[in-house]
Amino acid sequence: MKQQSRNAVIVGAGPGGLAAALLLAKSGVKVTVVEKRGQVGGRTSTMEQDGFKFDIGPTFFLYPQVLKEIFSAAGYDLAAEVPMTRLDPQYRLVFGAGGELLATPNVERMEKAIAAISPEDAKRFHEFLTHNRTKLAKFLPFLQSPFESWRDLAKPEMLKLLPLLAPWRSLDGDLQSHFKDERIRLGFSFQSKYLGMSPFRCPSLFSILSFLEYEHGVFHPTGGCGSVTRVMARMCREMGVEILLNEPVERVLIEKGKAIGVKTANHSLPADAVVVNADFAGAMKRLVPNRLRNKWTDEKLAKKRYSCSTFMMYLGIDGRYDDVSHHTIYLAKNYRQNLRDIEELHRLSETPSFYVQNACVTDATLAPAGQSTLYVLLPVTHDAGMIDWAEEAPRYREIAIDQMEKIGITGLRERIRTEKIVTPSGWASEFDLYKGSTFSMAHSLGQMLHLRPHNRFEDIDQMYLVGGGTHPGSGLPVIFESARITSRLLLEDLRMEPQWDAAATAGNAIPRETLVGVAS
């Protein structure tokens, strides 16, 4: 380890903050991570209740290559540190309009599954993969680079990509060139929920999300996604990073337009650089006075578009539903109206779409013997002042349980032994998410690339951002990529060289043989 002559404070021990801590510590920066909660991970952490363990937020672990490279850069091996199971089938899709699809990374079996619903569309699956393989390969260098002005967008190599990226088309519009049956298109576009957006509004670029699942796999880390951040925190400490828990930051210390540290209830921590790994809008309103922000004032933040929120149920139950897949997504017959209720009308749907993780069919470590966990997510509007969740939560709980019968989860009420419900109000109060938006600012064209908050924060010098609120955006692999971008910019400003091996960050997808195996 190099002698630590410069220091950085990272606000928040979420996945982006921990990844940045690893990279900066490897490069000789003395790093302190300050976390308001009593455990690391932020929303990528584990909730334990009555012997049951639940991921609080992300449950899909996608494209592990980015994290594999970060682990390697820090001198660790992801496969050895975090055992994972590649799922096959990846998930089950149940269509309210009729039919279902067991999504598998096996191309031949997937074609047969699609053919059972739409024979013509099955013939186009290979074409979809080929098209998006090219799209990802050509756009990946831009996802790995900072976008700090329109000039980055106007580079000749970026302009050449416009016909391929087709930013004027929605995700659903792009998929219409491959698939005619709307159910099949929904099967390749529901992933826009990772961005908190409708496929009918989400930019066409994000067809690469479903492609990543089929090309590189959907994984379950043993112990859940929260186990990943726990391991990262252990690695950070082994590399000399100090992690302060139960230490909420009151404000960023700013002098002459520069961040010079942070103030908590117990400490003033000076720093050469401050990295904020928290919900962007909420953090700005709490940590930086409005008068010191020009581009991102409270007034401007209020005018931005924000993602949907989620109504969550974490259920510990007797027995297991062995016939229910690890991941199941139910897409309501009135899917378009569901989305309109969420994005435009800010009201609750009476027959909502939903997602259930039944993780114990893969990972028995999450529940006591003879019992299991269910993680239930219903996309709902962010807090627009239209819903009183204190009144609506009990009613919506009953709707959710009734809806789950449509995927084979029957007799549930009698089997529940412990539960926790989180509403948009809970996301706002427990996790300081602005408007309870669980996916931060929406990924619309006007809020992407250089129009998203920059990794090198525009309004305050020596202040940097990581996480879903900055470029490149939401989703674990993208958040890890934001940590790499931000770490390079910070080191550049400190006139320090990144001390991670370029060869370690130039590999291909993580080899299947290094993982635990394939769950079926």
Q: Is residue 377 part of a domain?
A: yes
Q: Is residue 321 part of a domain?
A: yes
Tell which residue, 240, 255, 226, has the closest CA to residue 8. 240
Q: Is residue 262 part of a domain?
A: yes
Cβ burial of 260 (10 Å; 0-12, 13-18, 19+) is buried
Q: Count CB neighbours of 273 within 10 A.
A: 26
**What are residue 130's phi and psi, to 5 degrees?**
-65, -45
Task: State residue 514's pLDDT score.
Answer: 35
| Same-domain check for residues 294 and 393 | no
Q: How far is CA 82 from CA 64, 77, 474, in A?
A: 11, 9, 22
Q: Is residue 120 part of a domain?
A: no
Length of the chain: 520
**What are residue 261's phi and psi, to 5 degrees?**
150, -170
User: Domain end: 395, 418, 434, which one?
Assistant: 434
Degrees to nearest 5, angle at CA 62 with 58 and 67:
95
Task: State residue 245's pLDDT score.
Answer: 97
| Same-domain check for residues 379 and 495 | no
DSSP letters along 201-256, please?
TSBGGGHHHHHHHHHH-EEEETT-THHHHHHHHHHHHHTT-EEE-S--EEEEEEET
Give the three-class secondary structure for 160. Answer: coil
Q: Is residue 312 part of a domain?
A: yes
Structure tokens at 346: 């800010």
| Same-domain check for residues 324 and 232 | no
**What are residue 478's phi and psi, to 5 degrees?**
-75, -35
CATH number for position 446: 3.50.50.60
User: Domain end: 411, 434, 457, which one?
Assistant: 434
| Same-domain check for residues 346 and 374 | yes
Task: State residue 469's pLDDT score.
Answer: 92
Count, in order, helices (H) and strands (E) of the chain. Answer: 19, 21
Task: State residue 390's pLDDT score.
Answer: 95
Q: Are 214 and 110 in contact (CB under 8 A)?
A: yes
| Same-domain check for residues 313 and 419 | yes
Q: Is residue 193 part of a domain?
A: no
- Give the position of tokens 């002698």: 3
**What are residue 170's phi and psi, to 5 degrees?**
-80, 170
CATH number for position 359: 3.30.519
Within 144-200, where are the H helices?
150-153, 156-159, 162-165, 171-175, 182-187
CA dihedral of residues 153, 129, 191, 275 (deg, nearest 10): -40
| Same-domain check for residues 264 and 315 | no
Q: Is residue 213 part of a domain?
A: no
**What are residue 150's phi and psi, to 5 degrees?**
-60, -20
Domains: count for the chain = 2
User: Domain end: 434, 453, 481, which one?
Assistant: 434
| Same-domain check for residues 424 and 319 | yes
Q: Are 46 and 55 in contact (CB under 8 A)?
A: yes
In angstroms, the first-to-last Cα distance of the chain is: 43
Task: State residue 209's pLDDT score.
Answer: 87
Q: Are 187 and 175 in contact (CB under 8 A)?
A: no
Tell which residue, 137, 109, 205, has the closest CA to residue 445. 205
Quote the DSSP letter at residue 454. P
Q: Which residues pair with 357 in a beta bridge?
A: 327, 375
| Same-domain check for residues 326 and 421 | yes
- Per the structure, the complete domain to which residue 381 belongs is given by 308-434
- Give the position of tokens 């060139």: 177
Tell which residue, 252, 151, 145, has the closest CA to residue 482. 145
Strand order in the sheet with 242-244: 242-244, 29-34, 6-11, 273-276, 463-465
| Same-domain check for residues 290 and 359 | no
Q: Is residue 419 part of a domain?
A: yes
Quote the DSSP letter at residue 123. T
Q: For residue 288, give the amino acid letter.
A: V
Degrees to nearest 5, angle at CA 105 with 102 and 106:
90
| Same-domain check for residues 378 and 411 | yes
| Same-domain check for residues 418 and 445 | no
Task: State residue 126's pLDDT score.
Answer: 95
pLDDT of the chain along its 520 residues, tens only?
455 689 999 999 999 999 999 999 999 999 999 999 999 999 999 999 999 999 999 999 999 999 999 999 999 999 999 999 999 999 999 999 999 999 999 999 999 999 999 999 999 999 999 999 998 888 887 777 887 876 776 677 767 776 666 666 788 898 999 999 999 999 999 888 767 677 887 778 788 889 999 999 999 999 999 999 999 999 999 999 999 999 999 999 999 999 999 999 889 999 999 999 999 999 999 999 999 999 999 999 999 999 999 999 999 999 999 999 999 999 999 998 999 999 999 999 999 999 999 999 999 999 999 999 999 999 999 999 999 999 999 999 999 999 999 999 999 999 999 999 999 999 999 999 999 999 988 878 788 778 899 999 999 999 999 999 998 888 899 999 999 999 999 999 999 999 875 544 444 433 433 344 445 4
| Same-domain check for residues 377 and 491 | no
